[in-house]
A and B are shown apart, each in its own frame.
Chain A
């Protein structure tokens, strides 16, 4: 049974509806699909670089509003680069708190904390750790 209906085509990720102006349609030999993103999914990756780190410092990056861990590591060098997902504008997951602490052995530093807002553009944060 054939139905007269508009045809659907995906072109470069866009949905187009072709109105029915001829006879019954029949499948062509192509199709394209794209995975739908949820509003909570990142829309891309960006690079966040922390500079001027004291080697051996503990780094924790968390969502500022919830404290949920994004990533953590120990600084192996003065500069650490993180590849992070960013989100659609206005998403709270773009607002991060960056904690850097080094107090398990001399020299001791005061806890350093700052915030960053993620976007598509790469971001660099200068970490100013103060001796404690």
Chain B
């Protein structure tokens, strides 16, 4: 729990004939985090197995299928290569056919729509018989305009026929003139008419033809829908086979490409990677049946991927570490620290029995309905329990100081005892930051030895003690010890820091004060939340006193107000607690940048 899992560096060597079998065994084991071979060292990488090409082809086809059909992987069936090949080719053929049919229907629809548009235009401008437009000595301009009067003015003494629709804002216009005149008129009207292209539609009764076409168009829409449904039906019939094939093909692809990660010579191969030390026996056991295979393991404490191993209550908090950066091998895994203090900070900032209970119930349901969010939900469940506990301490139930008439005993009144609240917050800060220093000390002890640890990290403690002693008369109006001792200790600490960490250590000293003061937010956010709840209650109380309709509005105000306060509180408490860990505590001791453990086979 306190450090990531111990890793061993494993090297596996065998003859090339065993390559495929070894890969199968390793893939099934799901234990080896492969260390990709570097070909610049001399030995080349392996080449993928023969079936890789076919698998890649099938995966491409599958991608094409998936672009038209959504698959549900939950009901995947088991598959084999020949099975998958058959299914995919079959579905691909059917899909292509259905897609062609769909495209035909769509083309037809387009043609019809164009006709409808043309007929609609003619009907709108009042031309029921379009035979005049197809004459060779006639030209026409069709378009829309926003300035009908201007056009009428311009065309007053021109030889042409002018048709227009009766729309108010954007009027459709049709100007018919002899072919010789039409170009002049077009230039004349250039700025006023938005031309649309109108293919000459053969009709002698625009309105009638229009209605007929519109009905036929409805039929074509239905055909299109049916074609689409056939494609969806295809997906439903073959979903299980296709999902199973996909799963099988992807695993096979990984296995077929595995030789690219190993060193493969002419007659033998070398695979290397990391395995958790405690699983070494399992690896040895699985590989013992492969002939001519040699395994060598080295227990390595400094390198290797990170596999966190926390017990069940602590495990959900690994979410925060995954968010930030994973611990390196050999370093302290701060997950359990977050487990201890995150709920406390959250509870202190939200601190209301009612809100805690609501959060607990809501997230219990969310946890049940969305199993994927289990980790985060567990974190919030634990935090909401602490919220209820702090609610009891602060004596707040939805902002009020009583539950259904029974007054709550208040240990610390958030609104009236602000200074005490701030003091508690700063106290938490001191403890939290110093925990950070303790772990920095332990980490430094492991890496660099006792002397460096005392100089670089122990100095912080001395500095704090010295600072408190020196400033006690001024800040707390008490003298614990002569301030001169404090000043001496502080100076000694500064020197120690310089020796241990260089100038950077000195620069970080103001950071210490700022870090500790940053914990005042525990008090401030809590204060804001309590005040908001109080305001909501007073508003609702005022409305209740008026009675009648106002009381109904009062209930709404109460519910909406408290919901907003709860959501704000949830978000803010969550983020600020997290930020306190990441920025104020982790920067004191955490280096992170661990590689995630990614075993072959998962």
Physical interaction between A and B: no
Interface residues of A (CB under 8 A from B): none
Interface residues of B (CB under 8 A from A): none
